Structure formats: C-alpha cells, structure tokens
Amino acid sequence: MEIKPLTGAFGAEVLEVDLKSGIDTEESRLIEAALAENVVLVFRNQDLDIDGFESFAASIGDFGETPFITPVDGHPNVLRVIREAEETGPLFGSGWHSDWSFQLRPPSTTLLYALQVPEVGGDTAFTNQYLAFESLSEPMQSILRGLKGIHSAERSYGPQGTFGRPDPDASMEIHGDESAVVHQTHPLVRSHPLTGRQSLFVNEVYTVGIEGMTKTESGSLLEFLFEHSRQIAFTCRVRWMPGTLTMWDNRATQHFAINDYAGSKREMYRVTLAGEQPALS
C-alpha cells in the first residue's frame, strides 16, 4: 500500500490496494492511520458492487445513523446519491459542511464511491479544519476554545428548509420533518481522538448560532469563521472517475459538492461511520 500526497496542504491517494479483494486487520489499521494524518483519502480504479462497498466500510468502522434520506433497499446503511441529467432542484451536499454535525455523535468518516460521473464537473472540494484553527491568532484560539456552537438540521431538513418538502422530480427520497429543528451544541474547537490535534468545528449549513451569544454577536463571529475556514490555502479538490472511492474525516474537514454538471448524470454510493461526541481535551 502506497500513500501519495494529493496536494501540498492535505489529502492523499492510496495506491496498490484492491478493495474488492477485501482488507485485513493490518490494512484497516494502516488506512485508519493514513486518514487521521491526511484527512482525505482517494482510492482509484476500484471495482465494487454495493456489497463490496458496504463490506469495505464495515471493515473500517461501525455504521452511523443516516436521517431524512431513504437508503438503498436491502442496504439500510447505504445511500444512493444520485442526480439525473434533467434535474434542476437543490443539489444534495452543496454548501460547505461537515456531515450530520447536528447529531449528538456526528459521523467520524464518510465514504463515497463513484458509479457514474460527468465527463467534466461534479468534483468535491474539501477544506482542512486543522489548518483553519492553527492559522488563527493565539488570542482568537483561546476565545474559541471556551465557546460552543449550536448545530441544527433546520435549514436543510426542517419544514421550511431546502429539502423540507418532498420533491416529486428529485431522484433521491429526502423527507425533512419537525425533528430537524432540534438544536445540539458542540465545542467550536474539538480534539481528534486519534491524533489529539485541534480543529475548528463549525460549518455554514448546520451551525446556526453560538451558545450564550445574541444572534447579532454569534452571526458576526460565525461569518468570520466560515469565511476563514474555506481559504484556498486550506483546500483540496477531488475529481471523480467511475471506480473512485473517497473517504474523509468529518472531524477535521468540511466539504462541498460542486454543481457544475447540468445536463449530465452523477451517481454515487455513500456510507457514514459512527463517531463520538465532539470534545476538547
């Protein structure tokens, strides 16, 4: 197994591994360590059916909970992330976010496997939240360590959210409801359970406020952090090809699905793995 850097900032391609054949305990440990170090891992030229994809995910960790979206029949832990060529509604996964950060225990890892992708477009961008936090001044770091963000799915899956009402023209069955308006607090800065490294833990899709602050106060600080966290120097970008599997660490990155492939179909399998309640050590 060879690890090749994807950019100078973070991310890596994993070479000389055939996921279809399965991985042993040592290979699983190496992949987990590589992910903790590189935040995003890309496996090219894989040949996986849904069972093989699910099996590989299970070899890395336990499955997480996936709300609001109907999974693949017979595979309750797998989503089909699909957009047909003629679709024009909101794009699932757009906006900078960390998956399901509104949960008490947000996912540790997300795995996405490409079945069909546009000839051009449909990339996924990532931004490194270790770098985002470490580049802040010491006084700002100290302030943020004492604060908690308020996370909610209301903007996306609440009754008035982007996906709050069923769309008969959408390929994905997304069913928002009242449970999306529940608030969950997490530290604005979290420590990674494997590396101990601290990262910024806010995102523009699910972070709706800061505990103890007025809307005006929290809004100003969050807007600064959102803008700061997605600086080009902190980012990498994955261009998809059929058979590409990308996995990322939600504890240390945000991602953004780019909507630049109108008229083309894009279809993926997606799994999230269970995580822990964010904490600052």
- pLDDT tens readout for residues 207-246: 999 999 999 999 999 999 999 999 999 999 999 999 999 9
Q: Longest C-alpha distance within the chain, in Å? A: 54
Token pair of 278 as six digits: 């964010």
Confidence bin at 9 (pLDDT 50/70/90): very high
Read off the pLDDT of residues 106-153 as tens digits, 9 standing for 90 and up: 999 999 999 999 999 999 999 999 999 999 999 999 999 999 999 999
| pLDDT for 162 beyond 90 | yes
**Domain assignment of residue 166, yes or no:** yes
Flag whether 279 is in a domain. Answer: no
Which of these, 71, 95, 127, lies nearest to 207 by C-alpha position? 95
**Residue 281 placed within a domain:** no
Nearest CA to 231 out of 254, 248, 252 is that of: 254
pLDDT at 166: 83
Q: What DSSP designation does 97 have? A: B
Q: Within the chain, how many helices (H) and strands (E) appear?
A: 6, 15
What domain count does the chain have? 1
Q: Could you tell me which of 281, 13, 251 has the C-alpha nearest to residue 132?
A: 251
CATH of residue 241's domain is 3.60.130.10
| Residue 133 counted as domain residue | yes
H/E stretch holding 78 reads none
Assess if residue 98 is contained within a domain. Answer: yes
- 123 falls within a domain: yes
In a domain, 278, yes or no: no
Per the structure, the complete domain to which residue 111 belongs is given by 2-273
Domain presence at residue 280: no
CA gap 212, 88 in Å, rounded: 39
CA quadruple 272, 273, 277, 281: dihedral sign: negative
Q: Binning pLDDT at 50, 70 and 90, where does residue 8 land?
A: very high
